Amino acid sequence: MDLLFGELASFLSHAMIVVMVALMFVISLRLFLDRRKKAYMSMTISLIFVGIHFLLQLYFMFSSIHTSLADYSQIMLKIISFVLINMGIYQLYNRTNRKQYTFFYGLIVMGFVVSTLHFIVPNIYSGTDHQVRLLQNIGLELYVFVLIFLCFYMIPPYIGQQMKYQLALTIYFLFQTSQLLNTYVYDNAQPVLILAVNILPVIYYFLLFMILFERVVELMQAIYNSSITDGLTRLYNRRFFYNRVTQHVQRHLPVYILFSDIDNFKKLNDTQGHQMGDNVLKQVAQIMKDEAEECGIAGRYGGEEMVILVSDPSVKMDAFAERIRSRIEKETIVTASIGYSKYKTGLSAEELIKQADEAMYRAKTTGKNKVVKFA
């Protein structure tokens, strides 16, 4: 029973939270040192406050310190850490200007304003010491509900993982409600509420850990994607494409390279502007990506030149290349000259790509808007 409702349960709950907070602290600190972004600094600082809050709770638990000042410090640390960690989550997805800083730090300042009740109550209420201590912090405890509702309605529209974040705040609301009922109504004697007070914070910080972890994964994935793709067309960039061709050639796989060039592209830019040119590049790139999806990869080799590595030996290249040419002609305002070549033993990746480029050049110089196989 002590494992669920006694001091041991409370100790285990706090210990698990400290471990999760420590993991989050290591992640956010490492990211801050590597990238120097305010979001990671705010998250790191907030986690320091959270860690201090729960370490002090463990200390007061084992030292049996139950003073009015100890209660006050705990609730103020809870408010400060709650505001800062939610500000950190907001900053993971948004740049923070003076308006946002004023909002979040204003919530902390308001907490100190409300905390003046802690010092006023003993002077205006003459009940027992226990009753006075309960009334001293009731204002701060109710203020936590204000913070929960403000964060619940104001932050989710500006961040990803909205459902997970709102679920975390709902859990925290249930925890705060259980804690108040158990303290002010049942005098810490209701087993169900004691269990809720011990379990719900663990779930809350686990959800926060998952939000931070998944955001880090999103950022790392975005960084990786930006390093291997072209910013305009979202096709693979030249370096990545060349490396993939090299891998296939070194394994002597029967691959094809398709090399395309948009006809009269410079004239299009000169007469209709670069915005129209960019739109055409995106349209052609999408066609290349669609056609390559099940048989290889598409890349932007440079300028208006786009390439496809066809790794599926069952593909009929004549029909495949002609389908791409036809789609470009029908679905865009431009045409394309296309050449392709097949890997043969002894060829390097560079030579294979060059052969496809030469075939494309022959298509370009013999009428354009056609497909030529390297011979």
For position 5, what pLDDT does the model report?
A: 56
Q: Which of 272, 255, 213 is nearest to 348 (CA)?
A: 255
Mean pLDDT of the chain: 88
Confidence of residue 133 (pLDDT cuts 50, 70, 90): low
- Domain positions in the chain: 2-228, 238-373
148 is written with which tokens? 């929960």
For position 227, what pLDDT does the model report?
A: 87
State the Cα–Cα distance between residues 165 and 148, nearest whole angstrom. Answer: 11
State the Cα–Cα distance between residues 303 and 349, nearest whole angstrom. Answer: 20
Asked whether 307 and 259 are in contact (CB, 8 A), the reply is yes
Confidence of residue 129 (pLDDT cuts 50, 70, 90): low
For position 320, what pLDDT does the model report?
A: 96
For position 127, what pLDDT does the model report?
A: 60
Confidence of residue 186 (pLDDT cuts 50, 70, 90): confident
Cβ-based neighbours of 94, under 8 Å, separated by 6 or more: 100, 158, 159
Q: How many beta carbons lie within 10 A of that of residue 113, not counting itself? A: 10
The CATH number of domain 2-228, selected from 1.20.1070, 3.40.30, 2.80.10, 3.40.1130: 1.20.1070
CATH 2.60.40.1180 fits domain 238-373:
no
Place of tokens 């060349």: 242
State the Cα–Cα distance between residues 252 and 121, nearest whole angstrom. Answer: 83
**Left (φ > 0), alpha (ψ -120 to 50) or beta: where does 299 sit?**
beta
Q: In the Cβ-directed half-sphere of 149, how many Cα atoms lie within 13 Å?
A: 5
For position 292, what pLDDT does the model report?
A: 94
pLDDT mean over 131-149: 83
6 is written with which tokens? 């006694």
Query: What whole-number percentage of the chain has pLDDT above 70?
Result: 93
Amino acid type, 130:
H
pLDDT tens readout for residues 361-372:
999 999 999 999
Asked whether 29 and 23 are in contact (CB, 8 A), the reply is no
pTM (predicted TM-score):
0.72
State the Cα–Cα distance between residues 210 and 259, nearest whole angstrom. Answer: 44
What single-letter DSSP state applies at residue 237?
A: P
State the Cα–Cα distance between residues 218 and 229, nearest whole angstrom. Answer: 16
For position 301, what pLDDT does the model report?
A: 93
pLDDT tens readout for residues 287-331:
999 999 989 999 999 889 999 999 998 999 999 999 999 999 999
pLDDT tens readout for residues 9-61:
777 888 888 899 899 899 888 888 877 777 788 888 888 888 888 888 777 77
State the Cα–Cα distance between residues 182 and 12, nearest whole angstrom. Answer: 19
Distance, CA of 263 to chain centre: 40
